[in-house]
Structure 1
Amino acid sequence: MPTTSRRERAREERRELILRTARELAETDGWDAVTTRRLAEAVDYSQPVLYGHFKNMNAIADAVALQGIAELTDVLRDARESGGLRGLAQAYLDYAADHPAVYEAMFVRPTALSFGTPDSPAALKSAFEQFIAAVEPAADAETLAEVLWSSLHGQATLNRTGRLRPTHTRARADELVSRLSGNFPALSDD
Protein backbone atom coordinates (compact mmCIF):
# COMPACT_ATOMS: atom_id res chain seq x y z
CA MET A 1 0.00 0.00 0.00
CA PRO A 2 1.57 3.31 -1.04
CA THR A 3 2.32 5.81 1.68
CA THR A 4 1.16 9.37 1.54
CA SER A 5 3.92 11.68 0.48
CA ARG A 6 5.04 14.54 2.68
CA ARG A 7 3.61 16.98 0.13
CA GLU A 8 0.21 15.27 0.16
CA ARG A 9 0.16 15.23 3.98
CA ALA A 10 1.08 18.92 4.10
CA ARG A 11 -1.68 19.71 1.60
CA GLU A 12 -4.24 17.77 3.63
CA GLU A 13 -3.09 19.49 6.84
CA ARG A 14 -3.50 22.91 5.16
CA ARG A 15 -6.96 21.93 3.96
CA GLU A 16 -7.99 20.84 7.45
CA LEU A 17 -6.56 24.05 8.95
CA ILE A 18 -8.57 26.12 6.48
CA LEU A 19 -11.77 24.23 7.33
CA ARG A 20 -11.18 24.33 11.08
CA THR A 21 -10.47 28.06 10.96
CA ALA A 22 -13.47 28.80 8.75
CA ARG A 23 -15.65 26.89 11.18
CA GLU A 24 -14.22 28.76 14.18
CA LEU A 25 -14.67 32.14 12.50
CA ALA A 26 -18.23 31.27 11.50
CA GLU A 27 -19.11 30.08 15.01
CA THR A 28 -17.69 33.28 16.47
CA ASP A 29 -18.81 35.90 13.95
CA GLY A 30 -21.24 34.21 11.52
CA TRP A 31 -20.72 33.11 7.92
CA ASP A 32 -21.02 36.63 6.53
CA ALA A 33 -17.80 37.50 8.36
CA VAL A 34 -15.88 34.58 6.82
CA THR A 35 -14.20 35.95 3.72
CA THR A 36 -11.25 34.53 1.82
CA ARG A 37 -9.19 37.55 2.85
CA ARG A 38 -9.98 37.14 6.55
CA LEU A 39 -9.55 33.38 6.37
CA ALA A 40 -6.19 33.71 4.58
CA GLU A 41 -4.99 36.08 7.30
CA ALA A 42 -6.19 33.75 10.05
CA VAL A 43 -4.40 30.70 8.64
CA ASP A 44 -1.36 32.72 7.58
CA TYR A 45 -1.54 31.64 3.94
CA SER A 46 -2.20 33.72 0.84
CA GLN A 47 -5.59 33.79 -0.84
CA PRO A 48 -4.19 31.85 -3.84
CA VAL A 49 -3.32 29.02 -1.43
CA LEU A 50 -6.97 28.96 -0.31
CA TYR A 51 -8.08 28.87 -3.92
CA GLY A 52 -5.68 26.00 -4.51
CA HIS A 53 -7.81 23.98 -2.10
CA PHE A 54 -11.29 25.42 -2.66
CA LYS A 55 -12.96 27.12 -5.60
CA ASN A 56 -14.61 29.80 -3.42
CA MET A 57 -16.13 30.49 -0.01
CA ASN A 58 -19.21 28.43 -0.85
CA ALA A 59 -16.98 25.42 -1.48
CA ILE A 60 -15.37 25.97 1.92
CA ALA A 61 -18.79 26.17 3.58
CA ASP A 62 -19.86 23.00 1.73
CA ALA A 63 -16.75 21.18 2.99
CA VAL A 64 -17.53 22.35 6.55
CA ALA A 65 -21.09 21.12 6.00
CA LEU A 66 -19.89 17.66 4.98
CA GLN A 67 -17.67 17.47 8.06
CA GLY A 68 -20.61 18.52 10.22
CA ILE A 69 -22.90 15.98 8.61
CA ALA A 70 -20.38 13.22 9.32
CA GLU A 71 -20.21 14.37 12.96
CA LEU A 72 -24.00 14.58 13.16
CA THR A 73 -24.33 11.07 11.75
CA ASP A 74 -22.22 9.68 14.59
CA VAL A 75 -24.20 11.68 17.15
CA LEU A 76 -27.53 10.50 15.71
CA ARG A 77 -26.43 6.87 15.50
CA ASP A 78 -25.29 6.83 19.14
CA ALA A 79 -28.43 8.61 20.31
CA ARG A 80 -30.75 6.35 18.29
CA GLU A 81 -29.02 3.20 19.49
CA SER A 82 -29.25 4.26 23.13
CA GLY A 83 -32.48 6.28 23.15
CA GLY A 84 -34.47 5.36 20.06
CA LEU A 85 -36.46 7.99 18.19
CA ARG A 86 -36.66 10.26 21.24
CA GLY A 87 -32.88 10.13 21.69
CA LEU A 88 -32.28 10.88 18.02
CA ALA A 89 -34.67 13.86 18.06
CA GLN A 90 -33.07 15.41 21.12
CA ALA A 91 -29.55 14.78 19.81
CA TYR A 92 -30.40 16.51 16.52
CA LEU A 93 -31.75 19.58 18.31
CA ASP A 94 -28.79 19.64 20.71
CA TYR A 95 -26.30 19.43 17.82
CA ALA A 96 -28.02 22.31 16.03
CA ALA A 97 -27.98 24.43 19.20
CA ASP A 98 -24.36 23.58 20.08
CA HIS A 99 -22.96 24.13 16.56
CA PRO A 100 -25.08 26.88 14.99
CA ALA A 101 -22.66 27.93 12.23
CA VAL A 102 -21.95 24.34 11.19
CA TYR A 103 -25.69 23.63 11.24
CA GLU A 104 -26.24 26.70 9.08
CA ALA A 105 -23.65 25.47 6.58
CA MET A 106 -25.27 22.04 6.58
CA PHE A 107 -28.93 22.94 6.20
CA VAL A 108 -29.55 26.69 5.81
CA ARG A 109 -26.97 28.30 3.52
CA PRO A 110 -27.29 27.86 -0.24
CA THR A 111 -25.21 24.86 -1.24
CA ALA A 112 -23.95 22.92 -4.22
CA LEU A 113 -24.42 19.67 -2.27
CA SER A 114 -27.04 17.38 -3.72
CA PHE A 115 -29.65 16.16 -1.22
CA GLY A 116 -32.00 13.22 -1.75
CA THR A 117 -30.58 12.05 -5.06
CA PRO A 118 -28.43 9.13 -6.16
CA ASP A 119 -25.60 11.66 -6.52
CA SER A 120 -25.82 12.78 -2.89
CA PRO A 121 -22.52 12.49 -1.01
CA ALA A 122 -22.14 9.37 1.13
CA ALA A 123 -22.14 11.47 4.33
CA LEU A 124 -25.62 12.80 3.51
CA LYS A 125 -26.92 9.32 2.78
CA SER A 126 -25.46 7.98 6.04
CA ALA A 127 -27.08 10.75 8.07
CA PHE A 128 -30.45 10.20 6.44
CA GLU A 129 -30.18 6.46 7.11
CA GLN A 130 -30.22 7.29 10.83
CA PHE A 131 -33.61 8.98 10.42
CA ILE A 132 -34.92 6.00 8.46
CA ALA A 133 -33.66 3.56 11.09
CA ALA A 134 -35.38 5.61 13.80
CA VAL A 135 -38.83 5.32 12.18
CA GLU A 136 -38.69 1.78 10.82
CA PRO A 137 -40.73 -0.38 10.36
CA ALA A 138 -43.10 2.33 9.07
CA ALA A 139 -44.83 1.46 5.79
CA ASP A 140 -43.07 4.34 4.03
CA ALA A 141 -40.07 4.86 6.30
CA GLU A 142 -38.30 7.17 3.85
CA THR A 143 -41.20 9.64 3.71
CA LEU A 144 -41.71 9.47 7.47
CA ALA A 145 -37.96 10.08 7.92
CA GLU A 146 -38.29 13.18 5.73
CA VAL A 147 -41.20 14.38 7.89
CA LEU A 148 -39.12 13.78 11.04
CA TRP A 149 -36.06 15.55 9.65
CA SER A 150 -38.00 18.52 8.30
CA SER A 151 -39.90 18.87 11.58
CA LEU A 152 -36.69 18.79 13.61
CA HIS A 153 -35.07 21.23 11.19
CA GLY A 154 -37.98 23.61 11.62
CA GLN A 155 -37.70 23.38 15.39
CA ALA A 156 -33.92 23.83 15.31
CA THR A 157 -34.17 26.89 13.07
CA LEU A 158 -37.00 28.49 15.04
CA ASN A 159 -35.25 27.71 18.33
CA ARG A 160 -32.06 29.37 17.10
CA THR A 161 -33.81 32.52 15.98
CA GLY A 162 -35.75 32.84 19.23
CA ARG A 163 -39.15 32.39 17.64
CA LEU A 164 -40.24 29.58 19.94
CA ARG A 165 -40.45 29.49 23.73
CA PRO A 166 -36.98 28.43 24.93
CA THR A 167 -38.49 26.73 27.97
CA HIS A 168 -40.37 24.24 25.78
CA THR A 169 -37.64 22.85 23.53
CA ARG A 170 -37.80 19.35 25.02
CA ALA A 171 -41.61 19.37 25.18
CA ARG A 172 -41.84 20.14 21.44
CA ALA A 173 -39.42 17.33 20.60
CA ASP A 174 -41.35 14.95 22.84
CA GLU A 175 -44.64 15.95 21.20
CA LEU A 176 -43.20 15.32 17.74
CA VAL A 177 -41.87 11.92 18.76
CA SER A 178 -45.20 10.97 20.35
CA ARG A 179 -47.12 11.91 17.23
CA LEU A 180 -44.73 10.16 14.88
CA SER A 181 -44.84 7.09 17.10
CA GLY A 182 -48.60 6.92 16.71
CA ASN A 183 -49.39 8.01 20.27
CA PHE A 184 -52.23 10.36 19.38
CA PRO A 185 -55.96 10.03 18.77
CA ALA A 186 -56.99 9.04 15.28
CA LEU A 187 -57.73 12.01 13.08
CA SER A 188 -61.18 12.12 11.57
CA ASP A 189 -61.90 12.85 7.92
CA ASP A 190 -64.79 15.17 8.89
Structure 2
Amino acid sequence: MTQRQRRVRDRTERARRIITAARELAEAEGWDAVTTRRLAALIEYSQPVLYSHFPDGKDAIMAAAALEGFAELAATLVAARPGGLGGVAAAYVAFAEAKPSLYDAMFTHASELRFAEDDTPEVMKACFAELLAVVEPTAREQEAGALTEVFWSTLHGLVTLDRGRRLSPQHRDERLALVVERFGAEGRPKA
Protein backbone atom coordinates (compact mmCIF):
# COMPACT_ATOMS: atom_id res chain seq x y z
CA MET A 1 0.00 0.00 0.00
CA THR A 2 1.36 3.37 -0.97
CA GLN A 3 1.57 6.27 1.45
CA ARG A 4 -1.18 8.06 -0.48
CA GLN A 5 -3.47 5.01 -0.31
CA ARG A 6 -2.81 4.75 3.43
CA ARG A 7 -3.71 8.44 3.92
CA VAL A 8 -6.94 7.99 1.96
CA ARG A 9 -7.81 4.87 3.96
CA ASP A 10 -7.05 6.62 7.28
CA ARG A 11 -9.12 9.66 6.28
CA THR A 12 -12.04 7.42 5.29
CA GLU A 13 -11.78 5.55 8.59
CA ARG A 14 -11.77 8.82 10.56
CA ALA A 15 -14.87 10.06 8.72
CA ARG A 16 -16.53 6.71 9.41
CA ARG A 17 -15.72 6.99 13.14
CA ILE A 18 -17.12 10.51 13.26
CA ILE A 19 -20.40 9.48 11.61
CA THR A 20 -20.73 6.36 13.77
CA ALA A 21 -20.12 8.34 16.96
CA ALA A 22 -22.65 10.97 15.88
CA ARG A 23 -25.29 8.34 15.15
CA GLU A 24 -24.72 6.57 18.46
CA LEU A 25 -24.86 9.81 20.43
CA ALA A 26 -27.97 10.95 18.56
CA GLU A 27 -29.78 7.66 19.21
CA ALA A 28 -28.83 7.84 22.90
CA GLU A 29 -29.49 11.53 23.54
CA GLY A 30 -30.95 13.13 20.39
CA TRP A 31 -29.35 15.32 17.73
CA ASP A 32 -29.25 18.33 20.05
CA ALA A 33 -26.61 16.47 22.07
CA VAL A 34 -24.41 16.02 19.00
CA THR A 35 -21.85 18.79 18.94
CA THR A 36 -18.41 18.89 17.37
CA ARG A 37 -16.95 19.35 20.85
CA ARG A 38 -18.65 16.19 22.19
CA LEU A 39 -17.80 14.20 19.08
CA ALA A 40 -14.16 15.27 19.27
CA ALA A 41 -14.02 14.12 22.89
CA LEU A 42 -15.76 10.82 22.12
CA ILE A 43 -13.49 9.80 19.28
CA GLU A 44 -10.38 11.51 20.66
CA TYR A 45 -9.75 13.85 17.73
CA SER A 46 -9.55 17.61 17.82
CA GLN A 47 -12.40 19.74 16.56
CA PRO A 48 -10.27 20.95 13.62
CA VAL A 49 -9.94 17.30 12.52
CA LEU A 50 -13.75 17.00 12.51
CA TYR A 51 -14.04 20.21 10.50
CA SER A 52 -11.40 18.98 8.04
CA HIS A 53 -13.74 16.08 7.24
CA PHE A 54 -17.00 17.99 7.60
CA PRO A 55 -16.40 21.73 6.96
CA ASP A 56 -20.06 22.53 7.66
CA GLY A 57 -19.83 20.86 11.06
CA LYS A 58 -22.82 19.16 12.58
CA ASP A 59 -25.08 19.76 9.56
CA ALA A 60 -22.66 17.95 7.27
CA ILE A 61 -22.22 15.12 9.76
CA MET A 62 -25.99 14.76 10.06
CA ALA A 63 -26.34 14.74 6.26
CA ALA A 64 -23.69 12.00 6.00
CA ALA A 65 -25.57 9.99 8.64
CA ALA A 66 -28.81 10.55 6.71
CA LEU A 67 -27.25 9.20 3.52
CA GLU A 68 -26.24 6.08 5.42
CA GLY A 69 -29.80 5.88 6.68
CA PHE A 70 -31.20 6.04 3.16
CA ALA A 71 -28.95 3.14 2.16
CA GLU A 72 -30.11 1.15 5.19
CA LEU A 73 -33.77 1.94 4.57
CA ALA A 74 -33.46 1.01 0.89
CA ALA A 75 -31.95 -2.35 1.88
CA THR A 76 -34.73 -2.85 4.42
CA LEU A 77 -37.38 -2.14 1.79
CA VAL A 78 -35.71 -4.44 -0.74
CA ALA A 79 -35.87 -7.25 1.82
CA ALA A 80 -39.54 -6.44 2.55
CA ARG A 81 -40.64 -6.20 -1.09
CA PRO A 82 -41.73 -9.87 -1.34
CA GLY A 83 -44.38 -8.94 1.26
CA GLY A 84 -45.84 -6.42 -1.18
CA LEU A 85 -47.34 -3.14 -0.13
CA GLY A 86 -48.06 -4.38 3.40
CA GLY A 87 -44.56 -5.75 3.90
CA VAL A 88 -42.92 -2.56 2.72
CA ALA A 89 -45.24 -0.35 4.79
CA ALA A 90 -44.55 -2.39 7.93
CA ALA A 91 -40.80 -2.38 7.25
CA TYR A 92 -40.80 1.40 6.77
CA VAL A 93 -42.61 1.96 10.07
CA ALA A 94 -40.38 -0.55 11.89
CA PHE A 95 -37.26 1.18 10.55
CA ALA A 96 -38.50 4.56 11.81
CA GLU A 97 -39.28 3.06 15.22
CA ALA A 98 -35.95 1.25 15.55
CA LYS A 99 -33.82 4.25 14.51
CA PRO A 100 -35.72 7.38 15.52
CA SER A 101 -32.79 9.80 15.49
CA LEU A 102 -31.52 8.49 12.17
CA TYR A 103 -35.05 8.82 10.78
CA ASP A 104 -35.12 12.41 12.03
CA ALA A 105 -31.83 13.16 10.26
CA MET A 106 -33.27 11.67 7.07
CA PHE A 107 -36.71 13.26 7.10
CA THR A 108 -37.40 15.88 9.75
CA HIS A 109 -34.28 17.97 10.40
CA ALA A 110 -33.40 20.73 7.98
CA SER A 111 -30.92 19.48 5.43
CA GLU A 112 -29.41 20.34 2.09
CA LEU A 113 -30.37 16.83 0.90
CA ARG A 114 -33.28 17.11 -1.52
CA PHE A 115 -35.47 14.56 -3.23
CA ALA A 116 -36.73 14.90 -6.80
CA GLU A 117 -33.88 17.14 -7.96
CA ASP A 118 -31.24 16.61 -10.62
CA ASP A 119 -28.55 16.36 -7.95
CA THR A 120 -30.47 14.06 -5.60
CA PRO A 121 -27.99 11.47 -4.31
CA GLU A 122 -28.44 8.04 -5.90
CA VAL A 123 -29.02 6.35 -2.55
CA MET A 124 -32.04 8.58 -1.96
CA LYS A 125 -33.37 7.81 -5.43
CA ALA A 126 -32.92 4.09 -4.70
CA CYS A 127 -34.91 4.43 -1.50
CA PHE A 128 -37.79 6.12 -3.31
CA ALA A 129 -37.57 3.51 -6.09
CA GLU A 130 -38.26 0.77 -3.56
CA LEU A 131 -41.48 2.47 -2.52
CA LEU A 132 -42.39 3.04 -6.15
CA ALA A 133 -41.84 -0.65 -6.93
CA VAL A 134 -44.70 -1.70 -4.65
CA VAL A 135 -47.01 1.24 -5.33
CA GLU A 136 -46.71 1.28 -9.13
CA PRO A 137 -48.67 -1.97 -9.64
CA THR A 138 -51.58 -0.40 -7.76
CA ALA A 139 -51.58 2.88 -9.69
CA ARG A 140 -53.79 1.97 -12.66
CA GLU A 141 -54.57 5.26 -14.41
CA GLN A 142 -52.95 7.37 -11.68
CA GLU A 143 -49.42 8.73 -12.03
CA ALA A 144 -47.30 6.21 -10.10
CA GLY A 145 -44.73 8.75 -8.88
CA ALA A 146 -47.37 11.02 -7.38
CA LEU A 147 -49.19 8.08 -5.82
CA THR A 148 -45.91 6.88 -4.31
CA GLU A 149 -45.32 10.32 -2.83
CA VAL A 150 -48.77 10.20 -1.23
CA PHE A 151 -48.13 6.68 0.11
CA TRP A 152 -44.77 7.76 1.51
CA SER A 153 -46.29 10.93 3.00
CA THR A 154 -48.98 8.84 4.63
CA LEU A 155 -46.44 6.49 6.20
CA HIS A 156 -44.34 9.44 7.35
CA GLY A 157 -47.40 11.10 8.83
CA LEU A 158 -48.33 7.95 10.74
CA VAL A 159 -44.78 7.60 12.05
CA THR A 160 -44.58 11.24 13.08
CA LEU A 161 -48.00 11.42 14.72
CA ASP A 162 -47.49 8.11 16.49
CA ARG A 163 -44.09 9.17 17.83
CA GLY A 164 -45.63 12.42 19.04
CA ARG A 165 -48.35 10.43 20.82
CA ARG A 166 -51.02 12.17 18.77
CA LEU A 167 -52.75 8.94 17.75
CA SER A 168 -54.47 6.23 19.72
CA PRO A 169 -52.02 3.39 20.50
CA GLN A 170 -54.74 0.72 20.29
CA HIS A 171 -55.46 1.57 16.62
CA ARG A 172 -51.86 1.46 15.48
CA ASP A 173 -51.97 -1.81 13.55
CA GLU A 174 -55.41 -1.03 12.19
CA ARG A 175 -54.23 2.34 10.81
CA LEU A 176 -51.38 0.70 8.91
CA ALA A 177 -53.71 -2.00 7.60
CA LEU A 178 -56.12 0.70 6.38
CA VAL A 179 -53.34 2.51 4.52
CA VAL A 180 -52.28 -0.71 2.82
CA GLU A 181 -55.88 -1.60 2.01
CA ARG A 182 -56.63 1.84 0.53
CA PHE A 183 -53.51 1.95 -1.60
CA GLY A 184 -53.86 -1.70 -2.57
CA ALA A 185 -57.47 -1.11 -3.59
CA GLU A 186 -56.24 1.21 -6.34
CA GLY A 187 -54.81 -1.79 -8.20
CA ARG A 188 -57.86 -4.03 -7.95
CA PRO A 189 -60.46 -3.99 -10.68
CA LYS A 190 -63.64 -2.16 -9.75
CA ALA A 191 -66.61 -4.41 -9.11
TM-score, normalisation: structure 2: 0.91
Backbone CA RMSD of aligned residues: 1.5
- Given candidates 132, 150, 153, the residue that maps to 2:156 is 153
Q: Which deviations, in whole Å up to 9, do the C-alpha atoms of 1:77-134 show, x marking residues without a partner?
A: 1101x20000000000000000000000000000001211121100110000011101
How far did 1:166 drift? 2.4
Distance 1:123 1:37 in 2: 29
Are 1:67 and 2:68 an aligned pair? yes
Distance 1:117 1:60 in 2: 21
1:26 partner letter: A
* 1:3/1:41 CA distance change after superposition, 3 Å: closer
Summarize the alignment of residues 39-54 of structure 1 with structure 2, pairs less than 5 Å apart: 39-54=39-54
Are 1:13 and 2:16 an aligned pair? no
1:54 partner letter: F
Distance 1:99 1:84 in 2: 22
Distance 2:173 2:67 in 1: 27
How far did 1:4 drift? 7.4
Unmatched 5+ residue regions in structure 1?
A: 184-190
Q: Could you tell me which residue of structure 1 aligns to residue 189 of structure 2?
A: none
2:45 partner letter: Y
Q: Which deviations, in whole Å up to 9, do the C-alpha atoms of 1:13-59 show, x marking residues without a partner?
A: 11000000000000000001100000110010000000010021001
Unmatched 5+ residue regions in structure 2?
A: 187-191
Q: Could you tell me which residue of structure 1 aligns to residue 175 of structure 2?
A: 172
Distance 1:113 1:156 in 2: 20
Distance 1:72 1:62 in 2: 15
1:97 partner letter: E
The residue matched to 1:112 in structure 2 has which SS?
A: coil
1:50 partner letter: L
Distance 1:11 1:159 in 2: 40
CA contact (8 A) 1:90 1:170 kept: no
* 1:35/1:130 CA distance change after superposition, 3 Å: same
The residue matched to 1:110 in structure 2 has which SS?
A: coil
The residue matched to 1:136 in structure 2 has which SS?
A: helix
Distance 1:66 1:3 in 2: 29
Distance 2:43 2:87 in 1: 37
CA contact (8 A) 1:68 1:103 kept: yes
Q: Could you tell me which residue of structure 2 aligns to residue 186 of structure 1?
A: none
How far did 1:3 drift? 10
| Identity score, percent | 49
Q: Could you tell me which residue of structure 2 aligns to residue 100 of structure 1?
A: 100
How far did 1:65 drift? 0.3
Q: Could you tell me which residue of structure 2 aligns to residue 29 of structure 1?
A: 29
The residue matched to 2:88 in structure 1 has which SS?
A: helix
1:84 partner letter: G
* 1:99/1:4 CA distance change after superposition, 3 Å: farther
